[in-house]
Structure 1
Amino acid sequence: MSAPRVLVVEHEKGTGPAQFGELLTAQGLDLHLCRPWDGDPVPKEPDGYDGLLVLGGSMGPYDVDRAPWLPTVCRLLRAAVARDLPTLGICLGMELLTVACGGKVRQAEHPEVGLCELAPLLPASRDELFAPLAQLDTPPCAVQWHWEETSVPPEGAVPLLTSARCAHQAYRIGTSVWGVQFHPEVLAGDIATWGTSDVGPLQALGLDPAAVVGHVAREERQLRTLWGGLAGRWAAVVTARRPAPPRD
């Protein structure tokens, strides 16, 4: 039997799947990277794939002039939701999932950048991906890098995580589709280039790019363990829910 196939949508150079890519591959998944920023066409349907991973980017979900492929990604996400296909939208990926399914995204009143605490909500304790976070003695931390956020989640979305500055940090649609506002896939080396390109916006928030990266670097071992576990659980969902091969 062939390996489960996952379509990975990358919106911008330097925003790849990072440690998630390594961990998912190690779990036996076959990743197919789609880079519309480099000319790759975005499929309108997830035919032939057992999972969908939609990554982040510096554009917003409504920035079609800058990223004209975004409406097609929204169509792809709607098709994934309709099939309850194992899906994970990260940061921009969550914002696109929100818009695709009838919710709303707005400019964040309090942008989050760097390492931030998350608070599991009650439904997280029964969620396949987030139940272990609800059992921690201390609040989990994750890397944030967003100036926009979900203001109105899609109808029926189950809230899973929140934070002091952003109400909707994670939700689930159906049984197999998740969106997260934070970046579980990145470590200090991944965001170093983000800090270089976003010097002005970070300074406007009173943040020093080097200090942000240094803070993440000091917590890297914990981040690898915490969010590497999430990657492993998502890989297990993709593998468990792939269709059975036809009988001869």
Structure 2
Amino acid sequence: MSEPTLVVVRNEVDPDCTFHCDAISDALPDARTVAYPDGDRPDLEAVDGVVLSGSTAGVYEADDRPWIVEQQALVDELLEREIPTLGICFGHQLVNAALGGTVEPAEETCRPVRVDIADDPLFRGLEPVVPVVHGDVVTEVGDGLEVLASADYYHAFATRHREAPLWTVQFHPELTAAHRDRLAADFDWTEADYGFDDVNARRVLENFVSIVADC
């Protein structure tokens, strides 16, 4: 059985902050990548699964960043084709916005967070502490989506489509202790109640690959 063909859609707009996109590629070394803000687009005829990365952009900046509108249309096409899709951080927010949800600025959160997670194949074996780096939140989920995980400060922390193979997570499953110094330097990362020793979030990416392979 051949490995599924995955595409990582890189959404970072700041060339000094691409490390999190690189981390997804490190976790999924066989995946192809497309730099969406630069005009690259995935060939959906040759794709088994798609990962939408995080970004320092905000989904409400679509007037200044027309590629955001194009990617929201991509979400509709992925749904129509039933291509398994995972949205991460900005990807989580973009998917929800594309489906009629609401995203708003909030207080920046940069730390390991304890979450309540539903019983779902995407979260198989996942410890309930995950790395979070974000300043925007989904305040109303998109049509057809249901909440899969919640934190004490954030209800719609992860979502899943009720009919299509589409998942989104606010946290960054790609980040590990190897990124601690960079996170501390760039985002005022803190580890008080929890640290990376409590985190095995890359299981989400492993589980997504298994889900794609089974589809």
TM-score by length of 2: 0.85
Q: Name the amino acid aligned to 1:5.
A: T
Match of 2:210 in 1: 236
Q: Please provide the CA RMSD for this pair.
A: 2.5
Q: Name the amino acid aligned to 1:99.
A: A
Measure, in 1, the Cα distance between the counterparts of 2:19 and 2:56: 9
Match of 1:142 in 2: 130
Aligned-pair identity in percent equals: 25
Q: Name the amino acid aligned to 1:102.
A: G
Match of 1:41 in 2: 40
Q: Name the amino acid aligned to 2:41.
A: V
1:22 aligns with 2:26: yes
Q: Report the Cα offset of residue 220 of structure 1.
A: 3.0
Compare 140-149 and 60-69 and name the one that shifted more.
60-69
| Structure of higher CA gyration radius | 1
Measure, in 1, the Cα distance between the counterparts of 2:78 and 2:19: 22
Call closer, same or farther: CA 1:35–1:192 in 2, change over 3 Å: farther
Match of 2:140 in 1: 152
Q: Verify the 8 A CA contact 1:42 1:72 in the aligned structure 2.
A: no
Where structure 1 has 5 or more consecutive residues not aligned to the other structure, the ranges are 199-208, 242-248
Q: Report the Cα offset of residue 9 of structure 1.
A: 1.1
Measure, in 2, the Cα distance between the counterparts of 1:16 and 1:5: 21
TM-score by length of 1: 0.74
Match of 1:164 in 2: 152
Measure, in 1, the Cα distance between the counterparts of 2:186 and 2:206: 31
Match of 2:6 in 1: 6
Measure, in 2, the Cα distance between the counterparts of 1:16 and 1:131: 23
Measure, in 2, the Cα distance between the counterparts of 1:197 and 1:19: 16
Match of 2:116 among 100, 116, 119: 119
Q: Name the amino acid aligned to 1:180.
A: V
Partner of 1:3, secondary structure, is coil
1:26-60: per-residue Cα shift (whole Å, max 9, x none)? xxxx31111134x34234x6221000100111111
Partner of 2:77, secondary structure, is helix
Q: Verify the 8 A CA contact 1:144 1:182 in the aligned structure 2.
A: yes
Q: Verify the 8 A CA contact 1:10 1:16 in the aligned structure 2.
A: no
Q: Verify the 8 A CA contact 1:11 1:36 in the aligned structure 2.
A: yes
1:95-137: per-residue Cα shift (whole Å, max 9, x none)? 10011111111122x43221111112xxx22x1112544xx6x
Match of 2:96 in 1: 98
Match of 2:122 in 1: 129
Measure, in 1, the Cα distance between the counterparts of 2:11 and 2:64: 11
Match of 1:81 in 2: 79
Call closer, same or farther: CA 1:188–1:68 in 2, change over 3 Å: farther
